[in-house]
Structure 1
Amino acid sequence: MFIAGLFGCLITTSGLAACVAEFSGTSNKAGNAAGVFFIFLYLAFQGTLCDTTMYLYVSEIFPTEIRPIGMGFSLFGQFTSTIILLQTAPIGINNVGWKYYLVIIVWCIFFIPIVYLYFPETARLSLEEIGARFGDDVAVHITDASESQRKELDDFLSKIDVVHSDTPRGETLSVVDVSPEEK
């Protein structure tokens, strides 16, 4: 999603820069309308594919115990870059005109390969699978375990003292803490 959003922002910003360069200050209604179209299309790409992905991706890639810290740093970076862009845009557009859009175009061109190469895909993965892609130790899910992993788990469980009790559906089993001395 993020790469599609960056491509969309790249294309729409390029179209907007071309429209502003060619039709700014003219009475060409079609050219000016195309510029407005590119602004709204940019907002659609940025808002739906880039902005939302920043929140979702960061919350997925950080382990639970440091997720709030990771989200905090991400939001700090996002808001800092937004403030810088929004404070410099009026000055840049006033001084260099349509060429200021080249900053956004270059930014998109710069980040597309970075996202492609260094941001692992997390679509349709559980948080545990995402954690494994980032090198976390993850407990084996029995439904996803291979036959050798199941056999290893069965062997391990048969070696420890585990009490198993079948309970009728809907009832709970009380767990009694048994200290090692009582065994």
Structure 2
Amino acid sequence: MTFANLPAQLIALMLGWTFTVYMQVRSNSRAEALKTREKIVDKLEALSEWVEDELKRGEFLHSDFESGYAGLLSQIELKISNLNTHIGTNAVEASVLGDLREMEISELKDENKGLYLRVRHAAWNAIDSIDMTSNEKFFMKKGRLAYFKEYVHAYYGVIVAAISLLTVYYVGKIIVG
């Protein structure tokens, strides 16, 4: 058994595994981002139903309603922050919830009759914004140059790693003889 080709085989093996791990991490990140996006959409869709159910209850307490509403919006903002972490950029701004945050809630139950419709409309606008942003990030085709600019640091790391491995290989070859 000769070890003459062992360094080249190890380098090829390492590059293959590096590519495989890179693809797996990329796929996992994309799947988590899409799953988080779906959770955000579900929470936004459920928000207007929650408002409608709260307004239909017999006893309406403005302070409880307002704190529950603010809590639900805070949960959605946290999910948006998680989505941005998975995407790796600040793709979805928390300001898409601005209309929902600024919704006027009256202390009298009868004055809030159309509130759930306004909440539903604002939630749909937020969902559209989130969907457009995530579709642009994951499903729109980009040119080669734009793609390269986005991942230039990753490519730089791969090039430096390859040069380092080749340097170690040739230095080892010189030392061993």
TM-score by length of 1: 0.40
TM-score by length of 2: 0.41
